Amino acid sequence: MREKLSLGQFISTRRKHMRLTQEELADQVGVSKSAIAKWETDGGLPDRDNLRRISEVMDVSVDELHRIIEQPETNHKDFFDVNITLEVIKALESYGYKVIRPGEEV
């Protein structure tokens, strides 16, 4: 089943996945916290320059963001998948981080 995902939902979900607050994302993009809140609630779209900065901060291409805007029927689950090796997981756990593996309950 394909789920609709607006640009605002994508920004919000990706920001949370990156463990950033709206204020932290705003600082990295160079806008106000209220601009991030407005975009996340689909109250408007970022202009071209801000869209480029969002793509850089969130490590997605501008083309992918345009696809989200233009084709909201696409499934964007893969944007949130992370592929790390067992060595990285062990290193993170050795520093006290809890790594949730696929299929594990949060």
Label each residue of the chain as H, E or C: CCCCCCHHHHHHHHHHHCCCCHHHHHHHHCCCHHHHHHHHCCCCCCCHHHHHHHHHHHCCCHHHHHHHHHCCCCCCHHHHCCCCCHHHHHHHHHCCCCCCCCCCCC
| 7-81 CATH fold | 434 Repressor (Amino-terminal Domain) (1.10.260)
What angle do helix axes 33-40 and 22-29 make, rounded to 10 degrees?
110
Q: Does residue 74 have a pLDDT over 60? A: no
**pTM of model > 0.85:** no
Q: What is the pLDDT of residues 53-63, one digit of tens each?
A: 999 999 999 99
Amino acid, single-letter form, for residue 92 = L
| pLDDT band with cut points at 50, 70 and 90 for residue 103 | low
Q: What is the pLDDT of residues 5-63, one digit of tens each?
A: 889 999 999 999 999 999 999 999 999 999 999 999 999 999 999 999 999 999 999 99
